[in-house]
Structure 1
Amino acid sequence: MIVALVFVAAFLAFIVSAVAGGGAGLVLVPLLRLILPVASIPGALSIGTAASSLSRIWLFRPHIRWDVVRRFVPAALPAAALGAWLLTQFEAVYVEFLLGCFLLLNLPALFRRMPAPGTEAPLPLARLPLLGAAAGLLSGFTGAVGVVFNRAYYRMGLSKAEIVATRATNEVLLHLLKIALYAAFGLLPRSALIAGGLVAAAAVLASLASRRVLSLMRESLFRRAGLLAMVASGIAMFSLSGSQIMAIHRAWITYVAPGDEREIQLYWGGTRRAAIEREDDGRLVVERVVAPAQLPPAVRAALPTIAAGGAIVMIEEVRGNGLYYEVYRRHDGIVSKLEISPQGTPRNRALPDH
């Protein structure tokens, strides 16, 4: 069942990739996470996207812009090698999270009128080596980020067929190099080879089907589809990588409503770090857990008196309704709260803890 789902999803993703100027790899990342460890996903994606690139080169070869390829590829290849090596040293999930944030910046553009081809500020060909290096580095680290650079291809004034053909030519050597490097670094186990072969078969069939679809599309629709792919990829990367980062750091957000108070609590490392609270008068305040060493001298000096035979369990700095501190004290199994000004004087009476 999972195998059939991966094949069908890959086929549809690569058709969308052809008409949207990329993005199949980023769309497939969430699905491949169901069957592969995170470190093996870039290798499997590279096998599939290499097959897709080779088929698109054959189908669209008259439209390749070799002036772009000559400037892009020489910088992309060594950068991809660096990205593949970095994958063995660091968690790629943090880069995926940042890329997701970057792609989501395209959301407002979906609701604006699409500029006519050639009306955007042109991208000088002299910048292509820098673009190639960036694409190679990110591609080596995450497996596929072609959709990130859609706007650059638009600004070069390429037609939809030229974008498909030139992108494929720019990326095919990149993917082949990455496959070799992933294998050398032990990032291409048998499961990744099988998944990559499955994605590759779907990608080749999708290239054949998309040739007809692409010929029927208007340029404006092609560009809007590209923006939609960027936003969709951004949502997927942001949500999945964000949830994985929160799991790594034992972080979560919870809402509590004890009594008349309402607050959103933020946890990191399994410990409450901050909260946003609505006070009785309706004001919002931000609470941050602090250590005694971070307190003003006057507040720190008052702590022994506040404890009074009990134990201080937590201290929070509160901002938004002035600056003050909340000291939580446990005595005889009961926890109470005292609000203290930075001068060390009680701000109001002790209240039952929520």
Structure 2
Amino acid sequence: MTVFFVLVGAFLVFILSTLSGGGASLLLMPLVAMVVGVRAVAPVMTISIGMSSTTKVLLFWKYIDWKLFMWLFPSTIVGSILGANMFAILSTEYLQLLIGLLLISTIFQFRKPERRSGIQVKAWHFAPMGLIVSFLSGLIGGVGPLMNSAYLNYGMSKEALLGTRSANAILLHLTKIASYAFLGFVDREVLTYGLLIGASSMVAVYVGKFILGRISSLLFRQIVVVTMVLSGFLMLWQNVDFIEELVRKI
């Protein structure tokens, strides 16, 4: 019965993920941890998000910004391999707190389409950003929509954001799962749950695309920002015990 609720939750979360440009990993982590344990969350989510990203690439293929993808390509591979190798030996609580705060800060980073003053995000900026984000993703299993504000401020449409982000996500998650498997973190249980959640996510992406075509670009941007902020608060909430411990030390 628990597995059934996880699959239903995955279906709903991945619909939201399609409408918000990502974030499913953060929202699903607590549910997946209940079934497979905390240590298996990263490889399970890597398999399932890789499957959902494949579906998004097929649906939004013609919108993919390949110039941007090529800037992300090398840094994504390097960062994800480094992060996955550090996964086995480092405590990640501090990183999760930092990522949570960065996601919450999105509300201050967001600029409306008509406001083009200030620092403009360029294609080459995604190479160093991709290295950092893919490293963090390999280390803690997923960082949600951490780069979405950069995609939006780069000037992407909702379809281009989903297609380009998903193309890069496939590369990221293939590299991560190969690294996790090499390090011995992928067993039959991890593979089974990853494929089950992934199958649920693929159906959800089709439903999400249907809804996406019926909302405005502005509403999409607003959903992205709200989801990022909520994901940040969720990540902090998941580490509330660690935060309390830090406060006591201070």
> How would you bin the TM-score normalised by the shorter chain?
over 0.9
Describe the shift of the 1:126–1:221 C-alpha distance in structure 2 as closer, same or farther (beyond 3 A).
same
Write out aligned runs for 1:82-231 (5 A).
82-107=82-107, 115-116=112-113, 119=116, 121-231=119-229
Please give the alpha-carbon distance, in whole angstroms, between the structure 1 residues aligned to 2:26 and 2:57.
21
2:39 is the counterpart of 1:39:
yes
Q: Counting strand residues as a fraction of each chain, which structure ranks higher?
A: 1
Q: How many angstroms does 1:86 deviate by?
A: 0.8
Could you tell me which residue of structure 2 aligns to residue 315 of structure 1?
none
Please give the alpha-carbon distance, in whole angstroms, between the structure 2 residues aligned to 1:78 and 1:216.
38
**2:11 and 2:204 in contact (8 A); partners too:** yes
Q: How many angstroms does 1:93 deviate by?
A: 2.8
- Residue correspondences, number: 249
Q: TM-score, normalised by structure 1?
A: 0.66
Write out aligned runs for 1:1-354 (5 A).
1-107=1-107, 115-116=112-113, 119=116, 121-243=119-241, 245=242, 251=245, 267=248
Please give the alpha-carbon distance, in whole angstroms, between the structure 1 residues aligned to 2:55 and 2:61.
10
Q: How many angstroms does 1:234 deviate by?
A: 1.0
For 1:152, the aligned partner's letter is A
Q: Deviations over 1:99-120 (max 9, x none)?
A: 112222235679xxx6126736
Question: Segments of 4+ in structure 1 off by > 4 A?
Answer: 107-110
**1:57 and 1:168 in contact (8 A); partners too:** yes
Please give the alpha-carbon distance, in whole angstroms, between the structure 2 residues aligned to 1:234 and 1:5.
24
Q: TM-score, normalised by structure 2?
A: 0.92
Q: How many angstroms does 1:89 deviate by?
A: 1.1
Please give the alpha-carbon distance, in whole angstroms, between the structure 1 residues aligned to 2:165 and 2:248.
43
**1:43 and 1:187 in contact (8 A); partners too:** yes
For 2:88, the aligned partner's letter is T
Describe the shift of the 1:118–1:194 C-alpha distance in structure 2 as closer, same or farther (beyond 3 A).
farther
**1:56 and 1:207 in contact (8 A); partners too:** yes
Q: Looking at CA atoms only, which structure, 1 or 2, has the larger radius of gyration?
A: 1
**2:144 and 2:231 in contact (8 A); partners too:** no
Please give the alpha-carbon distance, in whole angstroms, between the structure 2 residues aligned to 1:165 and 1:27.
21
Describe the shift of the 1:116–1:135 C-alpha distance in structure 2 as closer, same or farther (beyond 3 A).
same
For 1:28, the aligned partner's letter is L
Q: Counting helix residues as a fraction of each chain, which structure ranks higher?
A: 2
Instruction: State percent identity of aligned pairs.
Output: 30
**2:109 and 2:149 in contact (8 A); partners too:** no
Please give the alpha-carbon distance, in whole angstroms, between the structure 1 residues aligned to 2:91 and 2:39.
9
Consecutive unaligned residues of structure 1, counting only runs of 5 or more, are: 253-265, 269-273, 275-354
For 2:164, the aligned partner's letter is T
**1:109 and 1:227 in contact (8 A); partners too:** no
Consecutive unaligned residues of structure 2, counting only runs of 5 or more, are: none
For 1:64, the aligned partner's letter is I
Q: How many angstroms does 1:96 deviate by?
A: 1.4
Q: Deviations over 1:172-196 (max 9, x none)?
A: 0110111111111122233322221
Please give the alpha-carbon distance, in whole angstroms, between the structure 2 residues aligned to 1:65 and 1:30.
33
Q: Deviations over 1:157-216 (max 9, x none)?
A: 110000000001111011011111111112223332222112101110011111111111
Q: Deviations over 1:8-63 (max 9, x none)?
A: 11111111111111101111112112122322111001101100111111111111
Q: Secondary structure of the equivalent of 2:126?
A: helix
For 2:163, the aligned partner's letter is A
